[in-house]
Amino acid sequence: MNEVEKIKTNITSGEPILIYSNEEDETSILVPAEFLTVDKYRLMRKYATGDVAVMMSKTIADKFGMPFLSDALGLYAQQDDNTQRAIKQSHAGPTFDLKNVNTGSADLDKVQAITRLAEIVKDNSYSKFYDEFIMPGHVRTYLAREGLLNERIGHTEMGVFLSQYFGLSGLVCLITLKNVETGVPLNKEQARNFAYENNFPMIMEHSVIELFKSYDRTPKTTFIQSENEYIEKYKKLLLIRRFEEKLEELFRSEKIRGSYHLSVGQEATGVALGSVLNSNDAVFVTHRGHHIALGMNIDPLKLFKECIGDTEGLNYGKAGPMHFSSKNNGLWLANGIVAANGGMAAGAALSFKLDKSRRVAVNVIGEGSMDEGSSHEVLNMAALWNLPLVTICENNLYSQSTRFNDHVPVSNLSSRVSHAYGILSEKISFGTDLVHLTNRLQDIVEWVRENQKPVFVEIMTYRTVGHSMSDKDQAYKDEEIDKEWKEKDPIQLYEKYLRENGHESNDNIHKAKQEVENKMTEILNEIF
For position 203, which CATH number holds?
3.90.870.10
User: Which stretches within 215-341 are classed as H helix?
Assistant: 227-252, 267-276, 290-295, 300-307
DSSP 186: P
How many other β-carbons are positioned within 10 Å of the β-carbon of residue 404?
A: 16
* 78 & 200 share domain: yes
Residue 483 belongs to a domain: no
Q: Residue 3: pLDDT above 90?
A: no
Q: Residue 528: pLDDT above 60?
A: yes
* 127 & 176 share domain: yes
Q: Residue 281: pLDDT above 90?
A: yes
Q: Residue 127: pLDDT above 60?
A: no
Q: Residue 95: pLDDT above 60?
A: no
Q: How many domains does the chain have?
A: 2
**Beta carbons of 83 and 54 less than 8 angstroms apart:** no
Q: List the one residue out of 16, 15, 34 whose CA is nearest residue 117.
A: 34
Position 519 scores a pLDDT of 97
Q: Residue 239: pLDDT above 50?
A: yes
Position 196 scores a pLDDT of 87
Position 53 scores a pLDDT of 56
| Mean pLDDT for the stretch of residues 329-349 | 96
* 31 & 57 share domain: yes
Position 51 scores a pLDDT of 54
Q: Residue 347: pLDDT above 90?
A: yes
Residue 528 belongs to a domain: no
Domain around 175: 16-214
- Confidence class of residue 255 from pLDDT cuts 50, 70 and 90? very high
DSSP 27: E
Convert the pLDDT of each residue in 14-57 to its tens digit: 888 888 876 667 788 888 777 777 777 777 777 766 555 555 54
Position 92 scores a pLDDT of 33
Residue 495 belongs to a domain: no
* 239 & 180 share domain: no
- At residue 408, φ and ψ (nearest 5 deg) are -125, 125
* 131 & 236 share domain: no
**Beta carbons of 399 and 407 less than 8 angstroms apart:** yes
* 209 & 268 share domain: no
For position 272, which CATH number holds?
3.40.50.970
* 379 & 274 share domain: yes
Residue 458 belongs to a domain: yes
Position 346 scores a pLDDT of 98
| Mean pLDDT for the stretch of residues 420-431 | 81
| Mean pLDDT for the stretch of residues 156-178 | 71
Helix/strand/coil for 399: strand
Rounded distance between C-alpha atoms, residue 352 and residue 356, angstroms: 6
| Mean pLDDT for the stretch of residues 488-499 | 93
- Confidence class of residue 442 from pLDDT cuts 50, 70 and 90? confident
* 210 & 269 share domain: no
Residue 379 belongs to a domain: yes
The strand ranges marked E within 325-444 are 331-334, 361-366, 389-395, 398-399, 402-403, 424-428
| Mean pLDDT for the stretch of residues 265-283 | 96
Convert the pLDDT of each residue in 450-477 to its tens digit: 889 999 999 999 999 999 999 988 999 9
Question: What is the rounded average pLDDT for all residues in the chain?
Answer: 79
Structural domain ending residue among the three candidates 464, 490, 522: 464
Helix/strand/coil for 164: helix
Q: Which residue has the higher pLDDT, 382 or 416?
A: 382
Structural domain ending residue among the three candidates 431, 464, 497: 464
Position 318 scores a pLDDT of 95
Q: Residue 81: pLDDT above 70?
A: no
Extract long-range pairs of 525-528: CB within 8 Å, 24+ residues apart: 526/301, 527/304, 527/305, 527/308, 527/310, 528/255
Residue 525 belongs to a domain: no
Please give the distance of CA 408 from its chain centroid, rounded to a whole number. Answer: 18
DSSP 267: H
* 127 & 269 share domain: no
Question: What's the full length of the chain, in residues?
Answer: 528
Residue 86 belongs to a domain: yes
Convert the pLDDT of each residue in 375-400 to its tens digit: 999 999 999 999 999 999 999 999 99
| Mean pLDDT for the stretch of residues 319-337 | 95
* 192 & 310 share domain: no
- Confidence class of residue 522 from pLDDT cuts 50, 70 and 90? very high
Rounded distance between C-alpha atoms, residue 121 and residue 59, angstroms: 10
Q: List the one residue out of 141, 133, 178 whose CA is nearest residue 29.
A: 178
**Percent residues over pLDDT 70 in the chain:** 74
Rounded distance between C-alpha atoms, residue 392 and residue 384, angstroms: 19
| Mean pLDDT for the stretch of residues 242-251 | 96
Structural domain ending residue among the three candidates 464, 490, 519: 464
Position 18 scores a pLDDT of 87
Position 20 scores a pLDDT of 84
* 203 & 279 share domain: no
* 301 & 200 share domain: no
Position 525 scores a pLDDT of 96
Q: Residue 93: pLDDT above 50?
A: no
Q: Residue 289: pLDDT above 50?
A: yes
pTM: 0.70
Residue 491 belongs to a domain: no
